[in-house]
Structure 1
């Protein structure tokens, strides 16, 4: 451990020195104050006497300003005294420090404290800094009276630098004495300081080892004083702490391992509902770090009144309570909260809250319900049609060959549609079950797109569509499942043909970047309304149900595209303008 350069013993020594200095400074201040007061009083009496004498000389000359100015300068010559004669209105009539021509430019003195007092027939005194002479001055003013009428004021002033010089001469020996006293105290206390510091450092050094949980050394101290008693006490304390810390660390380690590896969020609270413990999963649920919960209440961290209500009920009934709650946030979560009340309180823990995340389970339940509903509806439609036409045929329609042939064609079409629907449902199920086991070979997207274009060449010509292929001639290699990627391109190109306008246009393009490749299929078709674009990749969702069924769509094509792209760690997106066309993009990470 690095010990402080300014240790306890030295601080004690400095404290004594400071006390000594303070005593000397107080003495200096008291003596200086006394001398200053005495000298100022003496200077004040001297100036007052001079002012009275000058007043007697000035009375006959008040009407002759030029002569008065000359006499005032003669009186003040060779002295430090400044003499000023002021009329009852405060105008300067004469001043020993100014020329006659400058008198009219001087400020009015009526508001000067000493002059104001003299104009009230009182002797005035003031100490202030003179801007004219640039020094601190003592001002004395006496009124010039004619019976009860004030004819003017005689003001004398003198710099008080002489007083300051006297004070300075007194302070010098005092400061010298103070410095000498400090030196003596420091020298006298050096031995004691070194000895005391050495013993304290020994205790501190071993205590630092104890703080690092190093119990290998004891504090060995000579003597029979308080430091010896402190060393022995610390040795006993270290032995006890070593044993207790070992036991606590063992228990804490077991609890931490359990809490940190739980899939459930766990929060322990005291009887005031202040949080005591919070495991990582609870941190994730509520967006708080365990290091930030000190002094926080349950409602501050969870920000959920329903949780507070459930805990209050459990505390009141003193029994375990369980209830399902909803947590709002970036993602709405469904949690099963169980509150366990501890009958025998573990230190300051009153109850334990366990949060089991039911969000995914509830989502899957809803997906299953929606999927079953959609599948039932989609299967019922072709089956109903097949059954109806079969019953019609059995009812005698087969005797009419043209009608019978038409009914059989409808049955065949519905059967094909039912087959496509079942095939798409099986494809989605296969993707979801094998998402982590999908083959990831190096495939050439450009080659796959060329194959799909050739595959749809007949339908493109039949619909009189123009295909603009902007895919570069070089290979576009990404890791992926060749068959599944082929199905993505087939589904996108199939939609671009189905929902395009007669003699419309399809544009294929690729954007290759270091992070991956984006393939875009753009058409000039009917487009997708803005309000439904966010649902276009949902299962069984159709923008125009009648047109989709007429064209043989199952409503699963784009859902399959989405699932396949997610299985490739990529994504699919759509941009569309109603009446102008749609732009579907799929991103393959490199």
Structure 2
């Protein structure tokens, strides 16, 4: 069953229940009102008859006269003596009045005898009809000429048949009107349910399109109700899903490129080791003129392979978010001095001068000391590899407005402008042949970039071909 049909049936069901309850309450209130009016009429008529009787003590009692008065009052009037004998009943002929049984045991008379007034709704044993009875006990008995008994009770009654007919007539009209109202409600409710469910159909349609792969589909509901909020949430979710899928595709492309680069980088040292060992196994091991040369080649390739694997592990750990930062305040001058001293032996072969330069004796920064040392080592090592013999490398620290600027400046071959935007990518080389010749892995600058960005900073480079390069970054204090 469709959802809007369910809503429609629920609304119609509620309307029917409301109308039935309203009809029931109207019937109760109507009956109560009619009974109240009957009681008022009976009370008024009895008061009038009591007054007439009180002023007729000297007039001879006329049965037919009182019958006509009762008919004018539109009620049944009964006069009862102290012992319960019925003296007069407007609905009974005078010839049969003596046959009427004693009324002293009638409920309304018994109640009136006790408290002066008795009221009840019951079926008349005499007329076999349902009446509303109201009996009043007179303070003083009334003696009329022509009758033996004194009048002690005046009882008035009205048949419920007329009241029931009136109530039935009103109820019938009410239910006719209710039927018309229900028809209108059914008609309006159907269209309201269709209108209410329309946004849900659009949401469902959009969800189906997204499920089928249409990530450009958006819900156009702009209302401020729950449907509008749901639409905004779904649109935001689809947008996030689209971004995540694009990111996944990007990561997949990067992974594919990474695997291709790794396999290519690993193949070269492995091939060199394999070729050297095969040559030695084929007899060169016994040739003292060449065997040492092949062993050196295998050793250099093994070292390069070890460096490559170490850098791969490091950058994988960094890019996977597993790099943990241990931020502390320390003196960057002291760290630069320590790193420069450790890197001095690497400069001996090319007779490179490695210097440090500070604008003050103490430059405090807030960073991960070990990670910054790794950055300095990578940048200095890079500068040594690409600087000519007897050149100079300067590692500097100077205060700037937003922190301490750390620079590694060389006087090497420089980097062409078109390559600068790409040098921090993994395995990117400006001169691939020379990079392998000097033993670079192609990952050093990528590692530097990730570490500096993890500190909320950025690695920058200024370079001129033939004059050298300046790699610098800023650390917060």
TM-score between both structures, scaled by the size of structure 1: 0.42
For 1:570, the equivalent position in structure 2 comes to 457
- Specify whether residues 493 and 347 from structure 1 end up closer, same or farther in structure 2 by C-alpha distance, changes over 3 A only: closer
- Please say which structure displays the higher CA radius of gyration: 2
- Specify whether residues 579 and 270 from structure 1 end up closer, same or farther in structure 2 by C-alpha distance, changes over 3 A only: farther
Secondary structure, aligned partner of 2:298: helix
- Match for residue 496 of structure 1 among 375, 383, 386: 383
- Specify whether residues 347 and 567 from structure 1 end up closer, same or farther in structure 2 by C-alpha distance, changes over 3 A only: closer
- Specify whether residues 582 and 396 from structure 1 end up closer, same or farther in structure 2 by C-alpha distance, changes over 3 A only: same
- Match for residue 412 of structure 1 among 281, 299, 305: 299
Q: Do structure 1's residue 389 and structure 2's residue 284 form an aligned pair?
A: no
For 1:305, the equivalent position in structure 2 comes to none
Q: Do structure 1's residue 543 and structure 2's residue 430 form an aligned pair?
A: yes
- Match for residue 441 of structure 1 among 328, 344, 366: 328
Alpha-carbon offset, residue 402 of structure 1: 2.5
What are the Cα deviations for residues 44-101 of structure 1, in whole angstroms up to 9, with x where unaligned?
Answer: xxxxxxxxxxxxxxxxxxxxxxxxxxxxxxxxxxxxxxxxxxxxxxxxxxxxxxxxxx
Alpha-carbon offset, residue 323 of structure 1: 6.3
How many residues of Structure 1 are paired with residues of Structure 2 in the alignment? 269
- Specify whether residues 548 and 414 from structure 1 end up closer, same or farther in structure 2 by C-alpha distance, changes over 3 A only: same
For 1:511, the equivalent position in structure 2 comes to 398
CA–CA distance in structure 2, aligned partners of residues 555 and 364 of structure 1? 20
Higher relative contact order (CA 8 A, sep 6+): 2
For 1:369, the equivalent position in structure 2 comes to 256
CA–CA distance in structure 2, aligned partners of residues 566 and 359 of structure 1? 23
Q: What is the root-mean-square deviation of aligned Cα atoms in Å?
A: 3.2
- Match for residue 360 of structure 1 among 247, 254, 259: 247
Give yes or no for contact 1:374–1:540 (8 Å, CA) kept in 2. yes
Alpha-carbon offset, residue 396 of structure 1: 1.9
For 1:476, the equivalent position in structure 2 comes to 363
Give yes or no for contact 1:323–1:338 (8 Å, CA) kept in 2. no
- Specify whether residues 362 and 504 from structure 1 end up closer, same or farther in structure 2 by C-alpha distance, changes over 3 A only: same
Give yes or no for contact 2:392–2:410 (8 Å, CA) kept in 1. yes
For 2:209, the equivalent position in structure 1 comes to 320
Give yes or no for contact 2:426–2:443 (8 Å, CA) kept in 1. yes
Alpha-carbon offset, residue 559 of structure 1: 0.7
- Specify whether residues 446 and 435 from structure 1 end up closer, same or farther in structure 2 by C-alpha distance, changes over 3 A only: farther
Q: Do structure 1's residue 533 and structure 2's residue 440 form an aligned pair?
A: no
Q: How does 1:448-487 map to 2 (within 5 A)?
A: 448-487=335-374
Give yes or no for contact 1:270–1:350 (8 Å, CA) kept in 2. no
Give yes or no for contact 1:571–1:588 (8 Å, CA) kept in 2. no
Give yes or no for contact 1:574–1:582 (8 Å, CA) kept in 2. yes
CA–CA distance in structure 2, aligned partners of residues 459 and 440 of structure 1? 29
What are the Cα deviations for residues 518-570 of structure 1, in whole angstroms up to 9, with x where unaligned?
Answer: 10111111000111100011111111111111111101111111111112222
For 1:5, the equivalent position in structure 2 comes to none
Secondary structure, aligned partner of 2:469: strand
For 1:432, the equivalent position in structure 2 comes to 319
Give yes or no for contact 2:387–2:410 (8 Å, CA) kept in 1. yes
CA–CA distance in structure 2, aligned partners of residues 411 and 347 of structure 1? 70
Alpha-carbon offset, residue 435 of structure 1: 5.3
- Specify whether residues 399 and 347 from structure 1 end up closer, same or farther in structure 2 by C-alpha distance, changes over 3 A only: closer
Alpha-carbon offset, residue 421 of structure 1: 0.2
- Specify whether residues 338 and 391 from structure 1 end up closer, same or farther in structure 2 by C-alpha distance, changes over 3 A only: farther
Give yes or no for contact 1:269–1:349 (8 Å, CA) kept in 2. no
Q: Return 5+ residue gaps in structure 1 as ranges.
A: 1-267, 272-276, 278-310, 326-335
Give yes or no for contact 1:519–1:587 (8 Å, CA) kept in 2. yes
CA–CA distance in structure 1, aligned partners of residues 336 and 249 of structure 2? 39
Q: How does 1:170-209 map to 2 (within 5 A)?
A: none
Alpha-carbon offset, residue 431 of structure 1: 2.4
CA–CA distance in structure 2, aligned partners of residues 415 and 320 of structure 1? 55
CA–CA distance in structure 2, aligned partners of residues 413 and 402 of structure 1? 18
For 2:97, the equivalent position in structure 1 comes to none
- Specify whether residues 576 and 393 from structure 1 end up closer, same or farther in structure 2 by C-alpha distance, changes over 3 A only: same
CA–CA distance in structure 2, aligned partners of residues 349 and 516 of structure 1? 45
Alpha-carbon offset, residue 392 of structure 1: 1.7
Alpha-carbon offset, residue 514 of structure 1: 4.6
Give yes or no for contact 1:270–1:348 (8 Å, CA) kept in 2. no
- Specify whether residues 518 and 394 from structure 1 end up closer, same or farther in structure 2 by C-alpha distance, changes over 3 A only: same
